[in-house]
Amino acid sequence: MSARLLLGEPVAEKVRQRIGDLVTQLATEHVTPKLAVIVATDNQATNWYVSSIARAATKLAVACEVLDLGEATAETLAETIKTLNADEQIHGIILQTPLPQGIDASSLVKLIDPAKDIDGANPVSLGQLSVGQEAFAPATARSVIEILEHYRIPLAGKHVAVIGRSTVVGKPLAQLLLQLDATVTICHSRTVNLAEHTSRAEVCVVAAGQPHLLTANEVAAHSVVIDVGTHVTESGGLTGDVQADSVQPLVSALSPVPGGVGTVTTALLLLHTVQAAVNFLERSRRGECQMSVGR
């Protein structure tokens, strides 16, 4: 027996189709959705990631402006966010990490207008998400849900273990799972006897940031495992938080790394941008904000 592979590509393709439909709709209203990515680092991996977002955007007729601010100060970054908040041509804002040393990201993401916070970085977004109000979830957390839903893995009433309590994945993901009526156990680095929790779960999502943390010892037979980890191997490849070799023969389904969650994330960032543009259009129709079209 070997696990069914829950690949990200078909899910991403479906997301891209939704983007295409919405972009077409917006075009009839003379609106081009636009994402702004603020970069303040010379990190090679980051540059590669940001240009991959820009390329994906171009292919889908979503405008993407990368603001490379070099070694910017916190003041410059704050001013840039405020300018983008006020710019009605911009529908989505990402503050790309890492930031220059000594700059506290948490005081900056608070400044992102929740309506443009398409990667759910502002705690306000997480709060709204938690109480079931409309808000953008971090794209990675949302990717997990999109994969589970695409492959029709039932969640209501199921026991889902989430390993990791980060504000980027674990915590928002737990909120999304609760909304879908899952019973959720949140495990983390201080959890004693991880296997006791994960081996009872029908679905296990691993976002611990630790290569090969989850082995056959920690999973239930026939369960579903979603790997959210991304680590560069010595040979330059990618590997995840799951020891796939040992887990795969045991479980019923596995979303692998590479080829799983990460594949969907960029598409979701763009879907959120397009949805933010749609929301903006609706608000301006209701007279809640001004809009100038056709530019």
What residues are designated binding site for NADP(+)? 164-166, 230
Stretch that binds its own copies, among 25-33, 95-103, 185-193, 254-262 (CB under 8 A): 185-193
Place of tokens 């990200």: 8
Residue 130 touches its own copies, criterion: CB under 8 A: yes
Residue 192 touches its own copies, criterion: CB under 8 A: yes
* Helix, coil or strand: residue 196: helix
Residue 6 CA to residue 256 CA, distance in Å, equals 7
Residue 127 touches its own copies, criterion: CB under 8 A: yes
Residue 258 touches its own copies, criterion: CB under 8 A: no
Q: Which is nearer to its own copies, 117 or 263 (CB)?
A: 117
* Helix, coil or strand: residue 263: helix
CB under 8 Å to 52, separation ≥6 — which residues?
266
**Least gap, CB of 183 to its own copies (angstroms):** 4
Alpha carbon separation from 30 to 26, 54, 231, 288 (Å, rounded): 6, 21, 41, 19
Residue 131 CA to residue 240 CA, distance in Å, equals 31
**Least gap, CB of 180 to its own copies (angstroms):** 9
Residue 186 touches its own copies, criterion: CB under 8 A: yes
Amino acid at site 193: N
Instruction: Figure out which of the listed residues 197, 206, 207, 242 binds its own copies, where binding follows CB under 8 A.
Output: 197
Phi, psi of 263 (to 5 degrees): -65, -25
Q: Which is nearer to its own copies, 98 or 127 (CB)?
A: 127
Q: How many CA atoms lie within 13 A of 280 on its CB side?
A: 31
Instruction: Figure out which of the listed residues 133, 232, 245, 285 binds its own copies, where binding follows CB under 8 A.
Output: 133
Binding region for its own copies (CB under 8 A): 106, 122-128, 130-133, 156-159, 165, 167, 171, 174-175, 178, 181, 183-188, 190-192, 196-197, 200
